[in-house]
Homo-oligomer: A and B are copies of this chain.
Amino acid sequence: DFLNALHEVIPAFGASTDDLERCRLHGMVDCGDRHKHIYQRAMLLVEQVKVSKGSPLVTCLLEGSRGSGKTALAATVGIDSDFPYVKIVSAETMIGLHESTKCAQIIKVFEDAYRSPLSVIVLDDIERLLEYVSIGPRFSNLISQTLLVLLKRLPPKGKKLMVIGTTSEVDFLESIGFCDIFSVTYHVPTLNTNDAKKVLEQLNVFADEDIDAAAEVLGDMPIRKLYMLIEMAAQGEQGGSAEAIFSGKEKIKISHFFDCLQDVVRI
């Protein structure tokens, strides 16, 4: 099933998936059916790229709120593809560079991919690659034009490429024509009460009788915020209780958990 698939992956011959592994520090817990569906569909696209003659290039966009798990999901698909060339393009490795240098690095990744028979490229946080900021709005048109062409250009004969983009600014990408460029787009959702409950059960930091109450108050929270909240609550009111809680000796006090929720949701 979904979770097992995630965990039995072994990094493929040649493809350095270290960068991708760093995108899912907490491992991958089961986040509910909607996340699972996206994973499965993305893996079908991977197969399509592999076997099809008519689709040498397939592009797929994962969009959703900040911290909803897009990067972790894209990294997982890349790792699970077992393709010889799997690469993540991220603003983190290009901090402070000039847009033309960033552009050159992005082109390089695509040209490396064109030399491998099967490749996956993850374009992580596309709005950040584009240096997007909503005021103005401003962004690098140089990089944006480069991506618009790269996302449409067929790899050379006999080579196959899957590109997975992630973004939390889908409206922006839509407005500059990126969404039409991707073959398919999936919305990665925040956790609803059911999803959250499932996650909390796996984390095992609440007393059984508190889990429902805890899940109930969260209300459509992205998974990253949930992890932050658990960590905060695990310190206890006076600090010092984290170790006991994560080793399972103690449980988080539900009233303190509600307290911490205030800080995270914005006082």
Contact = CB atoms under 8 A, between A and B. Distances in A.
Contacts of A154: 22, 25
B104 A96 contact: yes
Given A175-B135, A185-B266, A264-B184, A235 B96 contact: no
A125 B89 CA distance: 26
Contact of A91 (B44, B53, B145, B187): B145
Interface in A139-192: 139, 141-142, 144-146, 148-150, 152-154, 172, 175-177, 179-181, 183-187
Contacts of A243: 51
Contacts of A228: 55, 58, 183-184
A267 interface: yes
Contacts of A138: 141
Given A51-B235, A96-B100, A184-B232, 20 more contacts: A22-B154, A26-B54, A45-B232, A47-B239, A47-B240, A47-B242, A48-B232, A51-B242, A52-B231, A53-B246, A58-B228, A95-B150, A128-B145, A128-B149, A131-B141, A131-B145, A133-B176, A135-B139, A135-B172, A185-B266
Contacts of A36: none
A32 to B, nearest CB: 16
A137 interface: yes
Contacts of A44: 232, 235, 239
Interface string A93-111: 0011000100110010000
B92 A149 contact: yes
Contact of A128 (B53, B96, B142, B148): B148
A267 B61 CA distance: 12
A134 interface: yes
Contacts of A152: 92
Interface in A36-64: 41, 43-45, 47-48, 51-55, 58
Contact of A134 (B22, B149, B177): B177
A161 B227 CA distance: 17
